[in-house]
Amino acid sequence: MIAWQDRVHEADSPVDRFFTDAVGGVSGAPYTGLNLGAHVGDRPEDVERNRRLLAEAVGVPRDRLVFMNQVHGADVEVVDGPRAGEAEPHDAVITAATDLALVVLVADCTPVLLSAPDAGLVAAVHAGRPGMTAGVVAATVDRMRQLGARQVSAAVGPSVCGRCYEVPEAMREAAVAASPSAGAVSWTGTPAVDVAAGVVEQLRTAGAEVTWVPGCTRESETLYSYRAEPRTGRFAGVVVQRESH
């Protein structure tokens, strides 16, 4: 269920960061495991049970899991608690609230978790190829700085690697224009994009400290991958700011 986790900013408000996998959960085939995506055709009751398991694993009530309406854009949302209704389209969400779990869902895209202890802020970012190219990472860091952040830390989760993400040459060129590190070559020598490498470059350019968690979704047996199987589930990145000690 929880494939990776850590805690940062112990001296300030502790921040817990998590990346899940597909292990555990109640979803049946083809989503077998801990599918957290409610938009992929899985049984709604199974997704809800999985989300309750996630809330328990990260230590918050179910209603304090905050999901986004992800659309592969660069818009950033700021929230101060659970939403009362449907989420507007956004690919990043920021909060200063404690014990509010911000969730990004992926199945090849790059999940990014941000924290800024000096401003008491955390954020979750959905950075697929279109979002990376559109600048969603920089937009989120900029918004955090507008809210008072000076020192930003990032955890970048598993995603499809450059060798497994073959694209037309024009797509690679657009990605390289946004982030030169995103240029890649596939296993078969064709044009490819390394979205995570591009995201990491953008984060470092923005002055963020980066922890890059290894793993390729397409090559993994425990992560969901849309490239490997279009009808599949979603795993998550989750960030939670706790009360100060």
Q: Model confidence over 27-41: pLDDT tens digits?
A: 999 999 999 999 999
Query: What pLDDT, in 10s, does the model give residues 179-193?
Result: 999 999 999 999 999
Closest of 206, 79, 197 to residue 152, by C-alpha:
206
pLDDT in tens, 91-112: 999 999 999 999 999 999 999 9
pLDDT confidence tier of residue 134, bands split at 50, 70 and 90: very high
Q: What pLDDT shows up at residue 245?
A: 61
Q: Which of 10-19, 43-52, 188-197 has the lowest mean pLDDT?
A: 10-19
Task: Please say whether the beta carbons of 97 and 27 come within 8 A.
Answer: no
Residue 13 pLDDT: 82
Q: 164-183, pLDDT tens digit by residue?
A: 999 999 999 999 999 999 99
| CATH number of the domain encompassing residue 190 | 3.60.140.10
- Alpha-carbon distance 201 to 223, whole Å? 24
Query: Residue 204: pLDDT above 70?
Result: yes
What average pLDDT does the segment 4-21 reach? 91
What whole-number distance in Å separates Cα of residue 56 and Cα of residue 164? Answer: 34
DSSP 137: H
pLDDT band at 9 (very low <50, low <70, confident <90, very high): confident
The pLDDT of residue 42 is: 98
* pTM of the full structure: 0.97
Give residue 57's domain range: 2-241
| Radius of gyration for the chain, computed over Cα atoms and rounded to the nearest angstrom | 17
Decide: helix, strand or coil at residue 5.
strand
Decide: 5 and 16 in contact? Cβ < 8 Å.
Answer: yes
Across 113-137, average pLDDT? 97
Percent above pLDDT 70 for the chain: 99
In whole angstroms, what is the distance from residue 129 CA to residue 165 CA? 10
Whole-number Å distance between alpha carbons of 83 and 157: 25
Pair of tokens at residue 77: 């949302």
Total tally of structural domains belonging to the chain: 1
Reading across the β-sheet that carries 110-116, which strands appear in turn?
76-79, 92-95, 121-127, 110-116, 153-156, 209-212
Q: What is the mean pLDDT of the chain?
A: 96
